Amino acid sequence: MLSMLHTLIDSKLSARFVLRPLVFNKPSGTSRGVLTEKACWYLIVENEHGQSGIGECSPIWGLSPENPDDYEPELQRVVTMINDFPLLFEDGTLDAYPSIKFGLETALLDLSTGGRRTPYPSPLTEGADGIRINGLIWMGSREYMLGQIMDKLKAGNTCLKLKIGAIDWQTEMQILEGIRQQFSSNQLELRVDANGAFSTETAAKKLQQLASLQIHSIEQPIQAGNWEAMAALCKSSRVPIALDEELIGVHGSHREELLDIIHPHYIILKPSLLGGIEACEQWIKLAEERNIGWWVTSMLESNLGLNTIAQWTYTLNNPLPQGLGTGQLFTNNPNSPLYLDGEHLKVDPTAAWDLDVILG
Residues labelled catalytic: 163, 270
- Which three-class secondary structure state does DSSP give residue 275? coil
CA distances from 170 to 13, 99, 174, 190, 222 (A): 57, 36, 6, 17, 18
> Cα separation of 118 and 108, whole Å?
12
Tell me the DSSP string of 176-232. Answer: HHHHHHHS-TTT-EEEEE-TT-B-TTTHHHHHHHHHTTT--EEE--B-TT-HHHHHH
CA distances from 252 to 6, 102, 255, 279 (A): 24, 17, 6, 10
CA distances from 130 to 60, 118, 259, 305, 345 (A): 28, 15, 31, 17, 5
CA distances from 68 to 8, 59, 65, 349, 354 (A): 30, 9, 9, 37, 29
